[in-house]
Amino acid sequence: DGGITQSPKYLFRKEGQNVTLSCEQNLNHDAMYWYRQDPGQGLRLIYYSQIVNDFQKGDIAEGYSVSREKKESFPLTVTSAQKNPTAFYLCASSSRGQVANEQFFGPGTRLTVL
Amino acid sequence: AQSVTQLDSQVPVFEEAPVELRCNYSSSVSVYLFWYVQYPNQGLQLLLKYLSGSTLVKGINGFEAEFNKSQTSFHLRKPSVHISDTAEYFCAVTITGGGNKLTFGTGTQLKVEL
């Protein structure tokens, strides 16, 4: 089945540590996205990538980094510079085109900083 | 920049009753509009989308929405809800030529009661 996988589902880290969240898709989509979800705030865009080896900052990129070396993969690193990293992180992908295309979402990773 | 407002953070409703979840947007250019549903601790699933054409859009699970350009609204409706509709619902907007970047509302928690 085609889809998006995110791992791990739950992640705990100590303050001051970097952590990398995995996102893989087999939908052959060019575009991929990372969102952060906090209660009562909806989803906010962290980074997005329209094509391999290229990515842009979203609305809340500070303290995060990404890479896009393969079409299928778009890992997100939460660095120690992110002041409040505890949140639910969602990865999404979509095909490219002139008309807006549906974004497909993964099941999410819940990160808790201890 | 575009924005989305979901004024109702929670909507309680009895099973088999009708429901309307409100969404208003702001944009200086043409928009595409989406409704997504999120069940607890899961990713988002597309309910329906408005790209162009008929202003009444039908989606999955018996939901529909009407695009009203003069009122800048895209309210979601269902004539008779079921317990299984209990979830969080997000309205999202992207602009034409916006590279498929979505701006989400803060979400509405629909709670269906017996």
pLDDT in tens, A49-107: 999 999 999 999 999 999 999 999 999 999 988 889 999 999 999 987 656 778 999 99
Name the more confident of A40 and B60: B60
Which residues touch B43 (CB under 8 Å, ≥6 apart)?
A4, A90, A92, A105, A106, A107, A108
- Give the model confidence (pLDDT) of A13-27 as tens digits: 998 899 999 999 999
Q: Which candidate, A77, A98, A96, places its Cα nearest to that of A29?
A: A96
Q: How far apart are CA B15 and CA B111, in angstroms?
A: 9
Task: Say what the pLDDT of residue A98 is.
Answer: 59
Q: Which of B97, B100, B107 sits opposite A42 (nearest CB)?
A: B107
The two tokens of residue A51 are 């094509």
CA distance B34 to B29: 16
Find, in chain A, the residue whose alpha carbon is nearest to that of B34. Answer: A102
Closest CA to A49 of A63, A18, A21, A70: A70
3-state class percentages of chain B: helix first, strand second, coil last, to nearest 5: 5, 55, 40
φ, ψ for residue B85 (rounded to 5)?
-80, -5
pLDDT of residue A99: 67
CB B34 to CB A42 under 8 A? no
Is residue B98 pLDDT above 80, yes or no?
Answer: no
Cα A40 → chain centroid: 19
Note whether B7 contacts A: Cβ–Cβ < 8 A: no
Cβ–Cβ under 8 Å, residues B92 and B6: no
The structure tokens listed for A35 are 């969102």
Task: Identify all chain A residues contacting B98, using CB atoms and an 8 Å cutoff.
Answer: 100
